[in-house]
Amino acid sequence: MKNNIFRQLVVFIRRKYRVFFQKKFSKTDIELLKDKNFVIVCDNCWAGSVYQWLERPYNSPFISVGFYGDCYLKLLSNFDYYMNLPVIFITESKYNYRKITYPLAKLGDIELHFTHYKTEDEAKTKWDRRTARMLEETNKDNYIFKICDAWYASEKNFKDFHNLPFKNKISFSNNSFKHLNFKNHFQILEKDKNLKNRVPNGVKLFKIMFIYVNLYQWMKNNLAA
């Protein structure tokens, strides 16, 4: 218990220090990636925080949108097909994990949970505009694909994710999955305050990510020239 409290205190101090000196830290990361183009494909709002940190325009529709694990993996498994489908809004979800108080849509049979949007018009306009920007980048080696278990991604989802043919994949979970020997998988010790077997939500995950991985150096090393 004491070790847990001490760790929480250390993480809190390190995180606040990074926030206080954000301009200094982000300037270094912006400079590091100044010659790199990239698109982030993500299962929750984590991507938006990365774009904001790097002061990049949103060239991805995966901003403030949530995907449950099975839907996300199905989308990634046939990515080009699904990304050319129109958004169709619906009123009921096949998942019963949360109350729907936001625009809910489908791409074919894939559910999109626009959790941070107020209206369907706003969600559709931004999804379509950012999808068009994303599709301008045709080199998938400039795409970053990320998954975590905040939206109930299962061990099978993680396994399928890491078996995808994309070059740049990164994952976060409360589970180490050591027996599966994933590359670029990071076990996160911090947990969601309500769901104790899940990582924190996308924004909070972003804020503590630096403790586990230097994302920007990883991007520098892996993105296409």
Q: Is the pLDDT of residue 147 over 80?
A: yes
Residue 89 has which token pair? 């809004």
135 is a domain residue: yes
Residue 204 vs residues 44, 162, 185, 193, 215: alpha-carbon distances, Å: 11, 23, 18, 11, 15
Q: Where are the alpha helices (DSSP H) in 110-183?
A: 120-135, 155-162
Report pLDDT digits (tens) over 175-200. 999 999 999 999 999 998 887 789 99
The number of domains in the chain is: 1
Task: Give the pLDDT band (50/70/90) at residue 224.
Answer: confident
Residue 147 has which token pair? 């998954």
Residues 196-209: what's their mean pLDDT? 92
Task: State what percent of residues in the chain have pLDDT above 70.
Answer: 98
Query: What pLDDT score does 220 carry?
Result: 97
11 is a domain residue: no
* Residue 55 CB coordination number (10 Å): 10
Cβ atoms of residues 204 and 195 within 8 Å: no
Cβ atoms of residues 223 and 142 within 8 Å: yes
Report residue 166: phi and psi, to 5°: -70, 145
DSSP line for 7-19: HHHHHHHHHHHHH
Query: What pLDDT score does 6 carry?
Result: 83
> In whole numbers, what is the pLDDT of the chain averaged over residues?
94
6 is a domain residue: no
Half-sphere exposure of 195 (CA within 13 A, CB side): 14
Half-sphere exposure of 89 (CA within 13 A, CB side): 14
Q: Is the pLDDT of residue 7 over 90?
A: no
Residue with tokens 């706003």: 122
Report pLDDT digits (tens) over 102-111. 999 999 999 9
Q: Is the pLDDT of residue 139 over 90?
A: yes
Cβ atoms of residues 179 and 155 within 8 Å: no
pTM, two decimal places: 0.94
1 is a domain residue: no
49 is a domain residue: yes
Query: What pLDDT score does 209 carry?
Result: 96
173 is a domain residue: yes
Within the chain, strands assigned E span 39-41, 88-90, 104-107, 110-113, 143-148, 169-173, 185-187
Q: Which domain holds residue 172?
A: 36-222
20 is a domain residue: no
Query: What pLDDT score does 163 carry?
Result: 97
Q: Is the pLDDT of residue 2 over 60?
A: no
10 is a domain residue: no
Q: Is the pLDDT of residue 1 over 50?
A: no
